[in-house]
Amino acid sequence: MSTTPAPAEDLVVLGKIVSVHGVKGDVKVYSFTDPIDNVLDYPRWTLKRDNEVKQVELVSGRLQGKVVVAKLKGLDDREVARSFAGFEILVPRSELPELAPGEFYWSQLVGLKVIDQVGQLLGTIDQLFETGANDVMVVKPCADSLDQRERLLPYTEQCVLSIDLAAGEMQVDWDADF
């Protein structure tokens, strides 16, 4: 393991180390990838927690329920592994697979302005999360937004009309009163 900071590349969060597993220094990972074990496709991870950055190499990993258990090179002690809890797992955006037209990574959507069909700015996308039915966008108010309400909008074809990454905007079919 190296503590050399990651190059100043565009990094994307793929998951988070949440705890230890077993006595040999394995870590439990909550993965944001779909399927969740895709986080294991990346042999080098940049770990970041607050201002602390570490470079690590993945030795092996496996799916265990709704988490991934990972073995990191040089991490063989349970107590040392416990200190890794809370680190986000990042990889360079350039290592992510190409998407089909009309598909987006969540990280590309965060920060987009959300505009309804009558041109009202509802806010900006703060985060996305999964539910059983569909993904949900958390839209938080911004400087020029219609009001100061936080909104939860479904990330569905019925709600999302268009996405323009260059303009930094998403057009939605959503009643501002909801």
Judge whether 111 lies within some domain.
Answer: yes
Report how far residue 167's alpha carbon sits from residue 85's, in angstroms, rounded to the nearest whole number. Answer: 37
In terms of pLDDT, which residue wins out, 27 or 106?
27
Final residue of a structural domain among 67, 95, 123: 95
Residues 34, 53 within the same domain: yes
Residues 75, 125 within the same domain: no
pLDDT for 107 beyond 60: yes
pLDDT of residue 66: 81
Judge whether 118 lies within some domain.
Answer: yes
Closest-CA residue to 154 (of 115, 128, 121, 118): 128
Report how far residue 37's alpha carbon sits from residue 29's, in angstroms, rounded to the nearest whole number. Answer: 10
Mean pLDDT, rounded, of the chain: 92
Residues 88, 118 within the same domain: no
pLDDT for 2 beyond 70: no
Answer yes or no: are the C-beta atoms of 138 and 150 closer than 8 Å.
Answer: yes
Residues 83, 119 within the same domain: no
Residues 67, 38 within the same domain: yes
pLDDT of residue 130: 83
Residues 116, 78 within the same domain: no
Judge whether 52 lies within some domain.
Answer: yes
pLDDT for 82 beyond 90: yes
Q: What domain range includes position 162?
A: 106-172
CATH of the domain at 88: 2.40.30.60
Mean pLDDT of the 155-178 span: 95
Number of domains in the chain: 2
Final residue of a structural domain among 95, 118, 141: 95
pLDDT of residue 3: 45
Residues 90, 130 within the same domain: no
Answer yes or no: are the C-beta atoms of 45 and 74 closer than 8 Å.
Answer: no
pTM: 0.75
**Tokens coding 68:** 């991934």
Q: What is the DSSP letter of 68?
A: E
Residues 83, 116 within the same domain: no
pLDDT of residue 9: 57
Judge whether 37 lies within some domain.
Answer: yes
Half-sphere exposure of 39 (CA within 13 A, CB side): 30
> pLDDT band for position 5 (50/70/90)?
very low
For residue range 24-59, list pLDDT tens digits in order: 999 999 998 889 999 999 999 999 999 999 999 999
Helix ranges (DSSP H) in 13-141 = 78-82, 106-109
Q: Could you tell me the end-to-end alpha-carbon distance of the chain, in angstroms, rounded to an integer? A: 49
Residues 111, 89 within the same domain: no
For residue range 124-161, list pLDDT tens digits in order: 999 998 887 899 999 999 999 999 999 999 999 999 99
Final residue of a structural domain among 95, 120, 149: 95
CATH of the domain at 114: 2.30.30.240
Judge whether 4 lies within some domain.
Answer: no
